[in-house]
Amino acid sequence: MKTINLRLVLFLIFSLNLAAQHRGNYNEITKDISRQNILSSGNAQIYNPTVQKQINQTLHPSNILTVDVKALQNVSATTYTALFNVSQIGPSAEITNQLMKERIDQIKNRLNAKGITQNNIAIDVISFIPIYEVEVTKKLFSKTYTEVPKGFELQQNIHIQFTKTNQFEAILEACAQSEVYNLVKVDYYIDNIQDVYKNLQDQLLKLIEEKKAYYKVLGFDMSDYNVAIADDKYCYFPKDFYQSYQAYNSISVEALDKSKGITTAKKQTSYYYQPLTYENYDVVINPSILEPVVQIGMNIKLVFTPKPIEKKDTPIVETKIDHKYYVISPNGTIDVKELNTKK
């Protein structure tokens, strides 16, 4: 019986570890799930209270109609530009410049063999300054410290343009062979950004018409509403979405082998690409991506408010006074005759 229970425990532990492998290290450091945070709904477990709140939210009807649509398009870069910083020191200005030129020429030749010509490489001189050291002069009763030039330092940036991501490995190799390791950044460029915005606009306009037709089916006449609008567009590059994390494990395995107790190991900092997620978008163009992309988005929000009811004018009633005139006889008789003034 104990053997069966032991096997069951081992099976459950193995199953939990296998499930954790599918989640990766990212989930370990970004979500701290405790039993108190787990909400139960039937036989299923809901780990996110926000989801539970969204499912059970109360709707509040209103006669104000809102059309809020968002679209996102993932666009692969047309060209890329890698920027490397190079530093070279030498005993004189001429030797320093010559050493730098030799390193740059070696990089150009290697890249030319990989299909990246010199037209795709640009050099940007950052600084060219002398290097000083302190020279100590001993005298009989004192010492003097004087700065004297001992050499020069030349810094340059190399801009390398390429069109395919698989060329970047060759660029790194060519630079490393010339002892250039300082990769500053990689910029992404797209040529047809206006076409992308036009495509997003067309998609949103189509979606707006569909939602207006939906409201019409529900009995709302859009001509009876005044409309207000707000729109926005944006463009994000991969450099904006790299996040860092540290490995979850922090125990040294070597310490266990030597039976010296537990030793805290240094956690390595790693980086990963985390693009915009799609749950808040109505339209996503090119949703499946393999490599970092440029994410371009557009939002349009329309608010329809009922037009004020026009008050009907109250009819004006004219009061007409019909005047009558009488003439009394001067002899004192009471014979009163009406004076006809309508002739």
Low-confidence ranges of the chain (pLDDT < 70): 1-52, 54, 134-143, 145-148, 247-266, 312-314, 322-343
pLDDT at 98: 92
DSSP-derived 3-state class of residue 236: strand
Phi, psi at 213, each rounded to 5°: -65, -35
How many whole angstroms separate alpha carbon 76 and alpha carbon 82? Answer: 16
Answer for the pair 339, 325: CB distance below 8 angstroms, yes or no.
Answer: yes
How many whole angstroms separate alpha carbon 40 and alpha carbon 255? Answer: 41
pLDDT at 235: 93
Enumerate residues 6+ apart whose C-beta is below 8 A from 58: none
Enumerate residues 6+ apart whose C-beta is below 8 A from 288: none
Q: Where are the beta strands (DSSP E) in 14-166?
A: 39-41, 44-46, 65-75, 79-90, 121-138, 143-162
DSSP 313: P
Cα–Cα distances in Å, from 9 out to 34, 203, 331?
A: 21, 54, 138
pLDDT at 18: 44
Tell me the residue type at 329: S
How many whole angstroms separate alpha carbon 31 and alpha carbon 34? Answer: 9
| Model confidence, pTM | 0.65
pLDDT at 265: 61
Enumerate residues 6+ apart whose C-beta is below 8 A from 5: none
Tell me the residue type at 211: K
Answer for the pair 152, 128: CB distance below 8 angstroms, yes or no.
Answer: yes
pLDDT at 147: 64
